[in-house]
Amino acid sequence: MYWTRAVVAIGLIGQAGAVARIGDLGIAATLLLLVAAVVAAILLTRAAPATALMIGWGGLGMTLGWWADLGFRSAVEVAQHSGIDAIWCRAPALGSAWHVVPGVGHLVSWMNAGMLLFGVPAAAFLLRPSSLLRCTLGMILGMSAGSRLAAAVASGLDPAAAVLVDHALMSAGMIGGMLGIEHLPWPRAQMPRNAAIATSAQPAIVTRKPAAPA
């Protein structure tokens, strides 16, 4: 548990630092984010260790990918040059043609690539392949839903506040997506009857009384 908490804390602290750079936050706000990251690491690892690993490191990859989508500039700088809508997850290197189909520009972004590259290997230590696949799907769907909600809710805010709201909603979406999809009534694989019988069969143990003394 302690190593899991430490690994999650590293991921969340890294996210806090990246969010501070993206939002061009001051020292006080950055320190608050760092404290919140440590508290979140403690609470998440107590409740759901595998989810905590995916949100810690998947969120770190997501945040670094978001920064890469912005050209490693702050959201304030990007908004000044291109408007507030330009700070949301995009794939500028692929050109505007990718945005003809709704959602495609989001799916091919560095944000999603970083989330998967960092989050899936981190959780693979604790999850079976089937659970890992479900949690990965939930993470993608939840983050996408959170990002779209943030684009609608935070579009009227200043860039720094919009970054905080966007990151919070994406992270909440990731957590909700992973926990929600994992608790759906998925069919369980049944062990073949012959295998179950063979597994339950126990070898006979023969005990022999010691011979009585003559």
| Span 20-38, pLDDT tens digits | 999 999 999 999 999 999 9
Return all residues near 209 (Cβ < 8 A) that are at least 6 apart: none
Name the pLDDT band for 82 (thresholds 50, 70, 90): confident
Note whether residue 196 is domain-resident.
no
Report the 10 Å Cβ neighbour count for 118. 22
Q: Give residue for tokens 């994406």.
A: 170
Q: Is the pLDDT of residue 209 over 80?
A: no
Name the pLDDT band for 164 (thresholds 50, 70, 90): very high
| Containing structural domain, residue 11 | 2-185
Name the pLDDT band for 203 (thresholds 50, 70, 90): very low
- DSSP secondary-structure letter at 94? G
Q: How far apart are CA 88 and CA 133, in angstroms?
A: 26
Q: Is the pLDDT of residue 46 over 60?
A: yes
Most confidently modeled range among 60-64, 65-69, 136-140, 146-150: 60-64
Q: Are 62 and 170 in contact (CB under 8 A)?
A: yes
Residue-level pLDDT at 13: 97
Q: Is the pLDDT of residue 135 over 90?
A: no
Radius of gyration of the chain (CA): 24
Which residue type occupies 30? T
Note whether residue 149 is domain-resident.
yes
Residue-level pLDDT at 185: 67
Residue-level pLDDT at 198: 38
Note whether residue 105 is domain-resident.
yes
Q: How far apart are CA 154 and CA 98, in angstroms?
A: 23
Selected residue with higher pLDDT from 150 and 102:
150
Residue-level pLDDT at 150: 84
Note whether residue 190 is domain-resident.
no
Note whether residue 202 is domain-resident.
no
Q: How far apart are CA 154 and CA 165, in angstroms?
A: 7
Alpha helices in 48-128, H assignment, sequence order: 49-53, 59-69, 75-82, 104-107, 110-123
Of 30-39, 60-69, 162-171, 173-182, which range is least confident? Answer: 173-182
How many residues can be counted in the chain?
214
Q: How far apart are CA 27 and CA 197, in angstroms?
A: 64
Mean pLDDT (whole number) for 150-158 = 82
Note whether residue 96 is domain-resident.
yes
Q: How far apart are CA 169 and CA 196, in angstroms?
A: 46
Note whether residue 197 is domain-resident.
no
Residue-level pLDDT at 64: 95
Q: How far apart are CA 149 and CA 166, in angstroms?
A: 8
Residue-level pLDDT at 151: 79
Note whether residue 98 is domain-resident.
yes
Domain tally, the chain? 1
CA-CA-CA-CA torsion for 161, 167, 169, 173, nearest 10 degrees?
180
